[in-house]
Amino acid sequence: MAGRRARYLHPIKMYVFTSAIFFLLFFSFFTPKGNLKVTPPNQSISAKERIVYINKLQEKLTKDTGNVMLKEALRVAKDTGNPFTQKDMYKAIEEEGGVIQFGSVNYKTMQEYDSLEALLPASERDGWFMRRLTKKQIEVNNKYRHNPEEAWKKLGNNILHKLPYMLFVSLPLFALILRFVYIRRRKQFYFADHGVFTIHLYVFSFLLLLVVFAIAELENAVQTGVLQWLVLLLFLTLFFYLYKAMRNFYKQGRAKTFFKFLLVFILSLVMMTVLFLFFVFFSAFTF
């Protein structure tokens, strides 16, 4: 900002390099893929899962004592002489009238949905977005009807791999928030200046999060409970860093900087929430 830039790394190069290293390590070591074990359809479920399923069936039978399908499903589940697989459990749920599905659609095929839509007046038909959403749900329901865990796993992985794009899109939006908060100093700080500040903030966040994830992994391994407090402290450090960075960069008093820090925090939280929801919907349509 003072014009002495030759000895500094270019902020765009710094962001690209740091984010690449961050997501490389994140997806290699810190994603929960090791815990997302999907039970194959034909693999026998554990005794604990079987007991939970039997208890659910018995609970349903107390409300619908005459349901023959429920009774048969319960008999099959209690027959310990034969293996009971995940596929058997989903099939039993379907036969008893339940539906393994995502969303609230009750259509079995797209042709059925299109036919019923054609019978409605034009004013009552679903719009473009609802048609796309409904057809996607029908596709997922039919594809993963007997193995919904696989669908949730693929959706989760798809969302995780969209995070770099979400953060990149959030960069100019965060700079825009700073532009709004410091609107009275628009002649002193241009949008590019807020962008450079944002890039340095994101780079620090990447480095800090790598340390946080590493400590969290260590805590999972040793189970001491002490390191959890260190993780919390490091998270709080991120907010303290933002306040100190704003005070150092924009050169305003403590009270004014703290007020603007709160405003930036609230607006950025809203912005990131909206962005996250958008990318979740986008991931759901593309997985």
Please tell me the pTM assigned to this model.
Answer: 0.65
Q: How confident is the model at residue 193 (pLDDT cuts 50, 70, 90)?
A: very high
Based on the domain organization, do 278 and 162 belong to the same domain? yes
pLDDT surpassing 80 at residue 151: no
Q: How far apart are CA 48 and CA 220, in angstroms?
A: 24
Asked if residue 2 belongs to a domain, the reply is no
Average pLDDT over residues 99-106: 46
The first and second tokens of residue 262, run together, are 């709160």
Q: Clarify whether residues 101 and 162 are in a common domain.
A: no
Give the pLDDT band (50/70/90) at residue 84. low
Dist. CA 269–CA 201, nearest whole Å: 15
**166 and 276 fall within a common domain:** yes
Residues 155-183 pLDDT 10s? 777 788 888 889 899 999 999 999 999 99
Tell which wins on pLDDT, 153 or 208: 208
Same domain, 120 and 96: yes
Q: Where is the domain boundary, 82, 114, 145?
A: 145
Distance between CA atoms of 188 and 91, rounded to whole angstroms?
67
117 in any annotated domain: yes
93 in the same domain as 53:
yes
Q: Tell me: the pLDDT tens digits for 45-69?
A: 667 777 777 787 787 778 777 776 6
Specify which of 80-89, 209-218, 248-257, 273-282 reaches the highest per-range mean pLDDT: 248-257
Q: Do the beta carbons of residue 219 and residue 227 sit within 8 Å?
A: yes
Domain boundary among 94, 121, 145: 145
Which of 92, 119, 145 is the last residue in one of the domains? Answer: 145
Domain total of the chain: 2
Res 37: pLDDT: 45
My answer on whether 31 and 88 are in the same domain is no
Tell me which of 54 and 249 has the higher pLDDT. Answer: 249
Residue 6 lies in a domain: no
Residues 175 and 246 in one domain: yes
Are 134 and 285 spatial neighbours (Cβ–Cβ below 8 Å)? Answer: no
Model confidence at 94: pLDDT above 60 = no
Contact at 8 Å (CB) between 173 and 267?
no
Domain containing 188 equals 11-36+150-286
- 1 domain residue, yes or no: no
Residue 42 lies in a domain: no
CA separation for the pair 231, 211 (Å, rounded): 9
- Distance separating alpha carbons of residues 139 and 283, to the nearest angstrom: 15
The average pLDDT across 5-25 equals: 83
